[in-house]
Structure 1
Amino acid sequence: MSIILLEKRGPIMVMTLNRPDAMNALGEEGDGPAIAAACNEIVADPEIRCAVLTGAGRAFSAGGNVKAMKEKTGAFSGKPHIVRNGYRNNIHMIVKSLYNMEVPLISAINGPAIGLGCDVACMADIRIASEKAKMGVTFLKLGLIPGDGGAWLMPRLIGASRAAELLFTGDVIDAHKAAEWGLVSKVVPADELMDEAMALAERIAQQPPQALRLAKTLMRHGNTASYETIMEMSAAAQALMHETEDHLEGVDAILEKRTPDFKGR
């Protein structure tokens, strides 16, 4: 059974973490390549304008497979240099492929998102939580540190102080606290979560796909690149967008006071 299921709904791809009996725990051998392949498939499809990531069953993801840690199997097996490669070639593939995906990504957090699962949810551009969701970066409770890049990501999302509090205490917070802290942008009833996520994805999917992907790329590079670098990238990207049919369609739609129909050309 693959860790990830894909369901194409028009211009939107729904990605479902699919290990419900283990609360969608991650880190088994092959998880990284499977999720990376799914992300590559989405990016390669010009019809896809947005993706939604959620979890099967009652959890988004309980994080790393604690049983595998105990048994030292999968990504957690072998001597330190082997475990290092397990992180680099498996777990890191999960988070990197999600974070670097050109298509805008929404996390629909349907239940607990803990440890690695929390960081996976946070790789998305936008996060919506069910009232049943809980989030925590509980690595220290296992005698570990965030081995998945969370120490880089979390301060950028919620600020250094709150990121430190979340990591150093190992506290698990509810959906409303997550919204207050900026980990998620919206909290909705559990039975409305996917409807809300899909409605948002559909609004995003109405945008011109080439410009949409480039806009996301600029935002991602904006986390690390200098102001001058982003300005140069923006000028070059904008020059390309001026040559697209979608740009002309957008201009015409405004002048004609109608809804644009972007074709990705």
Structure 2
Amino acid sequence: MSDNLLSFQQYQQTFTSRIRDPHQQPIPVGVAPERMAVYDEIVFNNLYESVSACFPVARKTVGKRNWLKLVKSFLKDYAADSPLFRKIPQEFITFLQQTNQASPQQRPVYLEALCHYEWIELYLSTLPSITDEAFNIDADGDLAKHKIVFTNAMLLLEYDYAVHKISPKHKPDTKEPTQLLVYRNIDDDIKFIALNPMTFRLLTLCQQESMTAEQALKLLAEELKHPQPALIMQFGLGILEDLRGQGVILGTNAHQHRL
């Protein structure tokens, strides 16, 4: 019985090795070439379509031939941790993080950041929403005095390149530190907002467990050594109110009002 299992495992390994690398690995004994070709084509095409659908800008920016080589390398060389089809794009990003042997034309230095930026849209679309009732949110709460509640479907992102500007016609050759806010609005549309460093720092501070906006803005004014802290307070609260209007901020924690 163990011999049969070992034989089956050997056959399975030969079969999957062939699918991963059809140009270098032999066809398993007993399998007709035309039938093997069907498996080769189906597996690769499904993988290619799944990856390409999530990264349309990256695919167009590196070009069809280079993108094809990258996906072939992904299939051949990478061992995914998840069998779930919907996680293939995330596995592709891990593949990019772990490998960097391609030429600059095939694998530009900004590609990993660009793919992560594109993948975030898929990731945020899967996050659950939170309701005012479930989290005891005061939609009209004082953003300065009470703990701010952000939508669950939001992230603050930092990249070395201006990923939101990259396209087939705009391929950066120098770094440009970039901060972004990405969120899913009430209509389930994914929106991206470019932030300046001060706003990014403010939102990062406001996400901390014990930090109110007033405390965050006072700290920010100290960090900037601004001669008129009141202006920082006014400017920052205006930004936060604008984000409340866009649905990024849901309100304040009503439970903390009573503490």
Larger Rg: 1 or 2?
A: 2
- TM-score (norm. length: structure 2): 0.23
Compute the TM-score of the two structures, normalised by the length of structure 1.
Answer: 0.22
Report which structure shows greater RCO (CA 8 Å, sep ≥6).
2
